[in-house]
Amino acid sequence: MSDNDQLIKDFVAAWRSLDVDHIMDFFTEDAVYINIPMEPPNESKAAIRAFIEGFAGNCSSIEFVVHHQVAAGNLVMNEGTDKITMGGNTIELPVMGVFEIRDGKISAWRDNVFVERLWRSVKYEEVYLHAYDTVSAAKAGLERYLRYYSGLRPHSSLDRQTPDRLYFEALPLPMAA
């Protein structure tokens, strides 16, 4: 096993503690984290810390289960399932991570969450049922459907809750001035 391979195994294991300082020890100062397709890039250690603090702060547990991992030179790729518990509900997301290593630390991390369930639902529950006449009609239909999908449609994998409810109820309330 290479040092880079072990580094990523240790990084993955560090998430179980939800200790942001320990997780951040794995990154270079100029590291970049790209959470595809959810977020714009976080382009510094400070930006990555802010993202991880916001994310981990809303979770009661995080477990990254790696099914396959390969290392070659300064690259490590892994495929697995992220198990995230938030607001008493656990969701499992299939993911693919690509890590670039420099001087024994992560200099770039691209995390690709596979959203095939969403696209399958969009395809069968919206696109295939409507013959859009124009691009603007398709855009309006998809926007309407995605509002429904996130805000009104219960999901069996979320214990019959909507994604919006699960996400927004887990967020801390802003403090009054």
Residue 114 CB neighbour total at 10 angstroms: 14
- Quote the pTM value: 0.67
pLDDT score at 1 = 65
Of residues 119 and 1, more confidently modeled? 119
Alpha carbons 70 and 75: distance in angstroms, whole number: 8
pLDDT score at 175 = 57
Parts of the chain belonging to CATH 3.10.450.50: 3-113
Taking only the tens place, the pLDDT of each residue in 108-132 is: 999 887 666 777 787 888 888 888 8
Fold annotation for 3-113: Nuclear Transport Factor 2; Chain: A, (3.10.450)
pLDDT higher than threshold 70 for residue 173: no
Minimal CA–CA distance to 150: which of 118, 127, 107? 118
pLDDT score at 58 = 84
Taking only the tens place, the pLDDT of each residue in 64-102 is: 999 999 988 899 999 888 999 887 888 888 888 899 999
Of residues 50 and 156, more confidently modeled? 50
